[in-house]
Amino acid sequence: MNRNLKTFLWTCTLPALVLFLVFDLYPFVRAILMSFYSWSGVSDVKTFIGFDNYRTLLHDPIVWKSFKNNLFFLLVVPVVTMGLAMLFAVMLMRSKLKERLFYRTTFFFPNVLALVVISILWSFIFHPTFGILNSMLKGIGLSGLTHAWLGESGTVLWALAAPMVWQAVGYYMVIYMAAIEGIPPDMYEVAHLEGASQFKQFQLITLPLIWSVLRITVVFFLIGVFNFTFVFVRIMSDGGPDHASEVLMTYLYGQAFSNGNFGYAMAIGVFMLLITVVLTFLSEAFMKREAIQY
């Protein structure tokens, strides 16, 4: 590699590298270091306490309740979202509807809205007195099924999962549609002539050929669940009732900005980081398979 090319490459990558070091790596290292201190976040006084924050974390029942709620969202939301996205993508791609572009745009539209807007919108839908959901149930004679959806521990997690799925399903549907569009139609024609059902065609042609796309979307979605769950929980239920919908991110936020316990909040953040790393490796290992060329 000649010197001019090296200089050009360094010139192009240096700004991005500096931004990464300043806004990603430094805060990451700083958070780990601060997890070993007792610090209010607003004073210069920091007391080194070693692993005390982590010992407190291990015996904090709300941390484990929040972790359990995170697991619920990590299991339910991706499975339902990916399942519906794949179903809609296959249905639209195999159909002869002229309105395919309209449906694609309509399904994708919720992803354009800000998460805060979606959270407020669904808060009104689930409102116990004038919410659309309870009004509809009463209107069709199912008053016994009405609930204070965000105010009862038995329904709050499912009520929070609904807008998460609604917001994300169209985005992943469009991705899967683009992947399916790249499959040669001849494969489906041959399979049809051989007598393969639509389900068999999906199982033997569609799924294997878009597996690499599916794997990437699953990994990114699992990581993203930690981030966008915070917005929905914070706005719609604020972790209630009685921490029934608390997740690690909202508990971290409360410890840092409500209780002024930044050291403990950083320990929770490090705990979340470890969970994210483990989940990434597990999902990669579980979904690893050779890519099929066509």
> Which pLDDT score, from 0 to 100, does residue 293 have?
55
Mean pLDDT of all residues in 263-289:
84
pLDDT value at position 159? 95
Give me the half-sphere count of Cα atoms (radius 13 Å) on the Cβ side of residue 31. 17
pLDDT over threshold 90, residue 44: no
Q: What is the pLDDT of residues 131-178, one digit of tens each?
A: 999 999 999 988 888 999 999 999 999 999 999 999 999 999 999 999
Mean pLDDT value across the chain: 88
Adjacent-strand bridge partners of 37: 48
**252-290 burial code (b ≥16 CB/10 A, e <16):** bbbbbeeeebbbbbbbbbbbbeebeeebeeebeeeeeee
Percent of the chain with pLDDT over 70: 96
What's the average model confidence in pLDDT over 15-44?
A: 88
Q: What is the pLDDT of residue 290?
A: 54
Q: Which amino acid is at 77?
A: V
- Each residue of 63-90: b (16+ CB within 10 Å) or e? bebbbebbebbbebbbebbbebbbebbb
What mean pLDDT do residues 214-219 have? 86
Confidence bin at 211 (pLDDT 50/70/90): confident
- Taking the C-alpha atoms of residue 129 and residue 139, their distance in angstroms, rounded to an integer, is 13
Which domains can be identified in the chain, with CATH numbers? 38-44+60-286 (1.10.3720.10)
Residue 98 pLDDT grade (very low, low, confident, very high; cuts 50, 70, 90): confident
Query: What distances in angstroms separate CA 11 from CA 21, 25, 239, one per listed residue?
Result: 16, 20, 46
Read off the pLDDT band of 1 (50, 70, 90): low
pLDDT for residue 130 is more than 90 = no
Q: What is the pLDDT of residue 280?
A: 79
What confidence score (pLDDT) does residue 63 get? 95
Confidence of residue 124 (pLDDT cuts 50, 70, 90): very high
* Nearest C-alpha neighbor of 77 from the set 175, 148, 169: 169
Candidates 277, 233, 281, 272; CA nearest to 31 is 272
Average pLDDT over residues 248-272: 92
